[in-house]
Amino acid sequence: MASYSVKKGLNYAPKRRKPATDLRKENLQSGEWKDLQFKECNFLAKGIPTEGGYLHPLLKVERVYQIHESGGHGSRGYGYDWKREEANKNLLRTHTTAVSSRMLYALAKKPFEAKRYYSIDRVFISRLLTGPT
């Protein structure tokens, strides 16, 4: 015959409390946060995989060459043969965020009309060149 001994442990409580998962404004205002016990977090959990989301059509490499050659999405394209080798080359890009923002702001005030804008600048973006070559 087996027998067991049961004793009150460190986490014994006559009344069970559900651990808090969020720290809310009300907890801070009332001072309740001092007595809250929080649920342990598993920061290594992978989470629920997402089922939705789409890449913008221009981010899909298969479509890029079509857009460049013959257009699409309201564009006529550049009218040249797109080459993967050329697209893979590194290039210096000017950092013209202020100019771009100003131009986009001005364009947003007018009815939409597809156009190309070019800006020449001497300040280049400093980025680590990584990725497929």
- For residue range 46-88, list pLDDT tens digits in order: 888 777 777 665 566 667 777 778 887 787 887 778 777 877 7
Indicate left, alpha or beta for 84 from its phi (over 0: left) and psi (-120 to 50: alpha): alpha
Percent of the chain at pLDDT above 70?
76
Report which residue type is found at 62: E
Domain edges within the chain: 57-108
Q: Are 123 and 100 in contact (CB under 8 A)?
A: no
Residue 28: pLDDT over 80: yes
Surface-to-core class of residue 84, CB atoms within 10 Å of its CB (0-12 exposed, 13-18 middle, 19+ buried): exposed
pLDDT score, position 29? 92
- For residue range 83-117, list pLDDT tens digits in order: 778 777 776 665 666 777 788 888 888 888 877 77
pLDDT score, position 133? 43
- For residue range 114-124, list pLDDT tens digits in order: 777 776 666 55
User: Distance between CA 75 and CA 92 in Å, rounded?
Assistant: 25
| Two tokens, residue 96 | 């013209």
